């Protein structure tokens, strides 16, 4: 990797751009050659493109860590992610989905390849669009489908919608909340709890380019950084915070520069490239296991749909959508697998057919689930008494003085 | 048997729970070597080590939600806020994440958030508030406001053992003013049970925390006039002990609800509603609220005194009810 600061990179060179102006490694193969500015046109305020959008798509660079089998599995899981959402989109149009539907078209590599780098005991803190990550962590498409339909069989028994579910027993997924950034310190706490039980684990959390503007993002990640907890903050920089372009969300060029302020390693990568996403997350996970603490990843990509199904995203200039459509993460990965000689068209079709058959069965299962019993609306507000097991084993404390006694405290001199 | 302050009682309770269960640990600002702003965890770091006495950055939200994250792994964290006024900086985490966790996705949060609350010490508007009602209004939490040293110790132990997020409001005015002998043997006090602080038959004062002692002074004055005041110390605001409220109404038929919290939206309104629903037929007079004024807590002593409910306010209300 070059350590030279390249302010004017050679366009489309098949090598990492190098480092950001502030010294953050940038593993992309190209920089986004345009940005958005606002303008008035005939009395209407809107957005225009400044720069080029028709630059060619570079072929993916091989992963440092993924072999053929794992690469094909990542491809399959990205396809599961997309087909599940296509199925949900149809169900939405059939009025089977209750409330909003949040899709991650164009973000599948970021969800799937990052979660794929986690171990079984590691935690995931998804956001609304990381439905693919949750499948990697062990949930089934039917779970997300039933959530969106408010079914009794959904993981939250109809109490919550969409990807707002989790599991603290087996899958280690925190149920997201709508408040942006609030899960980051929860992940830090999971790592803290594990460390007290003698384990250095990793906990992968996502935040958007918009969500990272919140105070809880800073407070949570600073907590993880200073306590050397294995939180991996993956900023999914998908260009638009609902309808607000990133140019109106933050003043810095690369969000990964904030890693310097947190005092943790940061990296910039292309979020439509599953290899880059996996490699960076894998390295961050290994850091966590070694007790070296938190890591910061900025993945640049594009939200190809609106904020939710009700939003056609007309505010996004058409040429921007076209630029990113050519960088479809699944298409890019398919081309990569073929170029590696790891897969042929027949094998690709077999994977696709398998996913389709499975998804139909998942949809049928979800649709057949009954609606919840009204008597279940306000049960389980409290957990009953009883032991709660330690997840990782007995508490391990290295430093303590068994002979120290409780003495009367010294009086503070204030607020007497 | 040693006489123990309210503050030392809490220290004893936490210490004993940490000795009993290695899953219990404390975290907060300055809780380690310094021992906490009010010295509640002084000396704890030597006995339990920096791993179980965790100094944190200044972030109440991170204290609350990192404690929650640790509780998801089976730990029983006790987070300290230097002043309960700062609980508002963790409001989103407490209300959105902790309180809904078991209901939403079946993930219990066995944890405690504790700290000093209340006024009477010229703490001003950011070191004197009684913020408990924001959380009493939040299903999924438990809210404890002890008045005595015995209760403070027994309830902090119960809070640590509870499988739900418990908010433990320690009244800072009582920290070193209240002293009593505690049982030698180990004990806990159940969450959700009120306590009759003083038996009486003419008027009930339903209250909690520091105003228990305001009621007590008033009761002593009123006793000289032949008015026997019963004082019910709620101890826990969520869940409320509805049986105890009903029983005292049935006994005295006249009720003052007294609290240091401000009037509008205070627990007094909720208690009046419960009495309406469950014991209306036993009332011989309207329910009276004696509370702080609907303003922020002032700093200067004459202003703070005017703001907070006083003994004479209770005496006046009791006389009025008896004469009704």
Closest of B290, B258, B9, B297 to residue A415, by C-alpha: B297
| Contact flag A409-B39 (C-beta cutoff 8 Å) | yes
What are A132's two structure tokens?
């693919």
| Contact flag A189-B176 (C-beta cutoff 8 Å) | no
**Length of chain A measured in residues:** 416
Please give chain A's pLDDT, 416 residues, in tens: 333 333 333 444 445 578 888 999 999 999 999 999 999 989 999 899 999 999 999 999 999 999 999 999 999 999 999 999 999 999 999 999 998 999 999 999 999 999 999 999 999 999 999 999 999 999 999 999 999 999 999 999 999 999 999 999 999 999 999 999 999 999 999 999 999 999 999 999 999 999 999 999 999 999 999 999 999 999 999 888 888 888 888 899 899 999 999 999 999 999 999 999 999 999 999 999 999 999 999 999 999 999 999 999 999 999 999 999 999 999 999 999 999 999 999 999 999 999 999 999 999 999 999 999 999 999 999 999 999 999 999 999 888 899 999 999 987 777 87
A262 touches B at CB < 8 Å:
no
| Contact flag B65-A402 (C-beta cutoff 8 Å) | no
| Contact flag A192-B176 (C-beta cutoff 8 Å) | no
Helix A215-226 vs helix B60-72: angle between axes, to the nearest 10 degrees?
60
Alpha-carbon distance of B216 to B205, in angstroms, equals 9
Q: Based on the residue annotation, tell me whether B127 is a catalytic residue of this protein.
A: yes
Q: What is the pLDDT of residues B278-291, one digit of tens each?
A: 999 999 999 999 99
Give the distance from residue A249's alpha carbon to the nearest chain B alpha carbon, in angstroms: 22
Q: Which of B46, B69, B101, B190 to mutate to test binding with chain A, by most A CBs within 10 Å of its CB?
A: B69
Spatial contact of A242 and A219, defined as CB atoms under 8 Å apart = no
Residue B13 CA to chain centroid, in angstroms? Answer: 15
pTM of the model: 0.96
The pLDDT assigned to B302 comes to 98
Identify which of B65, B110, B172 has the shortest CB distance to residue A186.
Answer: B65
Residue B112 CA to chain centroid, in angstroms? Answer: 13
| Contact flag B97-A186 (C-beta cutoff 8 Å) | yes
The pLDDT assigned to A11 comes to 42
Residue of A nearest to B44 (CA): A406
What are A195's two structure tokens?
């460390």
| Contact flag B49-A174 (C-beta cutoff 8 Å) | no
Helix A68-93 vs helix A108-116: angle between axes, to the nearest 10 degrees?
130
Query: How is the beta sheet containing B53-55 ordered, strand by strand?
Result: B53-55, B24-28, B76-80, B111-117, B165-171, B142-144, B236-238
Structural domains in chain B, sorted by start: 3-181 (3.40.50.970), 195-323 (3.40.50.920)
Q: What is the pLDDT of residues B305-319, one digit of tens each?
A: 999 999 999 999 999
Spatial contact of B196 and B231, defined as CB atoms under 8 Å apart = yes
What phi and psi values does residue A226 have, to the nearest 5 degrees? Answer: -75, -30
| Active-site entry in B127, B171, B197, B259 | B127
Q: Is the dihedral of CA A307, A310, A312, A315 positive or negative?
A: negative
The H or E element that residue B28 is part of is strand B24-28
A389 touches B at CB < 8 Å:
yes
Residue with tokens 């770091």: B45
The pLDDT assigned to A12 comes to 41
Coil, helix or strand for A351?
Answer: helix
Identify which of B37, B66, B121 has the shortest CB distance to residue A189.
Answer: B66
Please name the residues in contact with B258: beta carbons below 8 A apart, sequence gap of 6 or more: B205, B206, B207, B211, B214, B215, B268, B289, B290, B291, B309, B314
The pLDDT assigned to A353 comes to 98
pLDDT at B13 over 70: yes
What mean pLDDT is predicted for residues B249-254? Answer: 98
Closest of B62, B35, B61, B58 to residue B48, by C-alpha: B35
The pLDDT assigned to B1 comes to 63
Q: What is the pLDDT of residues B31-64, one digit of tens each?
A: 999 999 999 999 999 999 999 999 999 999 999 9
| Contact flag B110-A388 (C-beta cutoff 8 Å) | yes
Give the distance from residue A218's alpha carbon to the nearest chain B alpha carbon, in angstroms: 10
Which residues face B195 on adjacent strands?
Answer: B233
The pLDDT assigned to A245 comes to 85
Residue of B nearest to A412 (CA): B38
Identify which of B39, B50, B73 has the shortest CB distance to residue A190.
Answer: B73
Residues 390-409, chain A, touching B (beta carbon < 8 A): 390-392, 394-395, 397-402, 404-409
Q: Which of B27, B36, B105, B179 to mutate to test binding with chain A, by most A CBs within 10 Å of its CB?
A: B105
What mean pLDDT is predicted for residues B302-307? Answer: 98
Q: What is the pLDDT of residues B290-300, one digit of tens each?
A: 999 999 999 99
Please name the residues in contact with A367: beta carbons below 8 A apart, sequence gap of 6 or more: A91, A96, A145, A149
| Contact flag B68-A385 (C-beta cutoff 8 Å) | no
Using a CB-CB cut-off of 8 Å, the residues of chain B touching A124 are none
Size of interface A-B (CB pairs under 8 A): 212
Spatial contact of A61 and A14, defined as CB atoms under 8 Å apart = yes
The pLDDT assigned to A2 comes to 36
Q: Write down the ipTM of this complex.
A: 0.97
A170 touches B at CB < 8 Å:
no
Identify which of B7, B56, B73 has the shortest CB distance to residue A409.
Answer: B7
Using a CB-CB cut-off of 8 Å, the residues of chain A touching B54 are 192, 227
Lowest mean pLDDT among A155-169, A400-414, B77-91, B119-133: A400-414
């Amino acid at each position: 990797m070059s350590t030279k600061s390249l302010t004017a990179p050679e366009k489309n060179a098949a090598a990492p751009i190098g480092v950001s102006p502030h010294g953050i490694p940038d593993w992309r193969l190209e920089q986004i050659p345009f940005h958005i500015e606002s303008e008035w046109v005939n009395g209407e305020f809107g957005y225009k493109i400044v720069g080029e959008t028709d630059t060619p798509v570079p072929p993916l660079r091989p992963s440092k860590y993924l072999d053929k089998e794992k690469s094909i599995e990542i491809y399959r899981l990205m396809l599961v992610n997309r087909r599940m959402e296509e199925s949900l989109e149809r169900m939405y149009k059939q009025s089977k989905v209750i409330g909003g539907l949040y899709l991650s078209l164009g973000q599948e590599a970021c969800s799937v390849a990052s979660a794929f780098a986690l171990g079984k005991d590691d935690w995931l803190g998804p956001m609304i669009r990381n439905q693919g990550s949750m499948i990697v962590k062990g949930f089934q498409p039917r779970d997300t489908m039933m959530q969106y339909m408010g079914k009794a069989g959904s993981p939250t028994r109809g109490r919550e919608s969409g990807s707002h579910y989790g599991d603290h027993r087996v899958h280690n997924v925190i149920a997201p909340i709508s408040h942006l950034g609030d899960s980051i310190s929860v992940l830090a706490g999971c790592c803290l709890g594990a460390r007290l039980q003698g384990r250095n684990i990793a906990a992968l959390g996502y935040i958007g380019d918009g969500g990272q503007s919140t105070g809880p993002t800073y407070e949570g990640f600073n907590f993880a950084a200073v306590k050397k907890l294995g939180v991996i903050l993956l900023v999914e920089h998908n260009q638009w915070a609902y309808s607000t372009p990133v140019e109106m969300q933050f003043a810095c060029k690369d969000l990964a520069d904030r890693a310097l302020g947190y005092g943790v390693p940061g990296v910039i990568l292309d979020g439509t490239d599953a290899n880059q996403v996996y490699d960076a997350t894998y390295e961050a996970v290994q850091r966590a296991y070694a007790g070296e603490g938190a890591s910061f990843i900025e993945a640049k990509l594009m939200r190809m749909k609106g904020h939710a199904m009700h939003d056609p995203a007309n505010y996004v200039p058409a040429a921007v959508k076209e630029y990113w459509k050519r960088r479809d993460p699944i298409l890019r990965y398919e081309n990569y697998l073929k170029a590696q000689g790891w897969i042929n068209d027949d094998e690709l079709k077999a994977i696709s057919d398998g996913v389709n058959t499975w998804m139909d069965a998942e949809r049928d299962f979800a649709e057949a689930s009954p609606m919840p019993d009204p008597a279940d609306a306000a049960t389980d507000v409290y957990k009953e008494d009883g032991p709660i097991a330690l997840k990782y084993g007995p508490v391990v404390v290295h430093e303590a003085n068994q002979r120290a006694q409780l003495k009367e405290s010294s009086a503070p001199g204030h607020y007497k | 048997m040693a006489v123990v302050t309210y503050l030392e009682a809490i220290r004893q309770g936490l210490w004993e729970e940490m000795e009993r269960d290695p899953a219990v640990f404390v975290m907060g600002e300055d809780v380690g070597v310094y021992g906490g702003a009010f010295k509640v965890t002084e000396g704890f770091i030597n006995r339990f080590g920096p791993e179980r006495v965790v100094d944190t950055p200044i972030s109440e939200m991170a204290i609350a939600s990192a404690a929650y994250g640790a509780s998801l792994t089976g730990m029983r964290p006790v987070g300290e806020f230097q002043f309960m006024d700062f609980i508002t900086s963790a409001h989103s985490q407490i209300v959105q994440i902790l309180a809904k966790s078991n209901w939403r996705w079946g993930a219990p949060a066995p944890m405690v958030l504790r700290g000093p609350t209340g006024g009477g010490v010229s703490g001003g508007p950011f070191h004197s508030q009684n913020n408990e009602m924001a959380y009493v209004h939040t299903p999924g939490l438990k809210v404890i406001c002890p008045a005595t040293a015995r209760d403070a110790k027994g309830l902090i132990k119960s809070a640590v053992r509870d499988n739900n997020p418990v908010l433990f409001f320690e009244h800072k005015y009582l920290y070193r003013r209240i002293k009593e002998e505690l049982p030698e043997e180990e004990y806990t006090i159940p969450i959700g049970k009120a306590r009759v602080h003083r038996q009486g038959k003419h008027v009930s004062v339903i209250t909690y925390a520091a105003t228990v002692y305001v009621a007590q002074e008033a009761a002593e004055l009123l006793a000289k006039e032949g008015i026997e005041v019963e004082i019910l110390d709620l101890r826990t605001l969520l869940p409320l002990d509805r049986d105890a409220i009903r029983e005292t109404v049935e006994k005295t038929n006249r009720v003052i609800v007294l609290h240091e919290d401000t009037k509008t939206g205070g627990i007094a309104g909720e208690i009046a509603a419960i009495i309406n629903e469950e014991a209306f037929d036993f009332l011989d007079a309207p329910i009276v609220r004696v509370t702080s004024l609907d303003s922020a807590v002032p700093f200067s002593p004459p202003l703070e005194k005017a703001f907070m409910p006083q003994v004479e306010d209770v005496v006046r209300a009791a006389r009025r009810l008896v004469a009704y």
